[in-house]
Amino acid sequence: KKIVILISGSGTNLQAMIEACENKMINGQIMAVISNQANAYGLERAKIAHIPTALFERKHYPNNLAMDLAIGDFIADLEADLIVLAGYMKILTAEFTQRFAGKILNIHPSLLPKFRGLNTYQQALEAGETEHGTTVHFVNEQVDGGAVILQAKVPIFPDDSIEDIQQRVKTQELQIYPLVVKWFVDDRLKEIDGKAYLDGQLL
């Protein structure tokens, strides 16, 4: 299966995917890593792994729709089976998410439906939560609103800083996201009518 990965930043989730493909846990090939940020360290990770990279910067397009059309055409040319969002910090247009419906995965650092959007660690701390976590989900036109596939929970301890929680969550992300990609690549995971199914079972 052909995979493309979209990033904006450090790319630790990308790195986990690269390694999972290299060691054949994921039976797929990363065709390209796409970034909307020129300085994303994930681009270096891709280069080190000899994976082609592509940069799409918003300033080169008149609007979001034109940018997403260009990214979409690039992905379509690669005949990608799966689009993995791994810290891609720009909201995709509905035109894009509908064009690739059922083929886009994202990981969001909260126990969705709690804490959509940005700064989830701070949101959880301020809400006095005793646990936090991360969610892999299908992507639709609602931001962080697509069908949930898999979540991992971590505790929040009384003296935790944002960084403490973030690190605990990240450790979980690097475990669960490659697993979900493996399921998709092995044709075990589907989105039907906005719901996620694993081996035909509703998740």
Catalytic machinery residues: 108
Shortest Å, Cβ 109 to ligand GRF? 4
Shortest Å, Cβ 187 to ligand GRF? 25
CA dihedral sign, ordered 99, 102, 103, 106: positive
Strands 104-108 and 82-85, by their bridges, are: parallel
CB 103 within 8 A of CB 83: yes
13 is in an annotated binding site: yes
114 is in an annotated binding site: no
Q: Which is nearer to ligand GRF, 163 or 193 (CB)?
A: 163
- Residue 140's Cβ-side half-sphere holds a number of Cα atoms within 13 Å equal to 11
106 is in an annotated binding site: yes
CB 88 within 8 A of CB 6: yes
Q: Which is nearer to ligand GRF, 1 or 116 (CB)?
A: 116
90 is in an annotated binding site: yes
Q: Give the CB-nearest residue to ligand GRF.
A: 87
Shortest Å, Cβ 180 to ligand GRF? 13
What burial letters (b/e) apply to 45-82, b meaning 16+ CB within 10 Å? bbeebebebbebeeeeeeeeeebbbebbeebeebebbb
Residues at the contact surface with ligand GRF, assessed by CB under 6 A: 7, 9-14, 42, 86-87, 107-109, 134, 170, 173
Name the binding residues.
Answer: 11-13, 89-92, 106
Name the binding residues for (6R)-10-formyltetrahydrofolate.
Answer: 89-92, 106
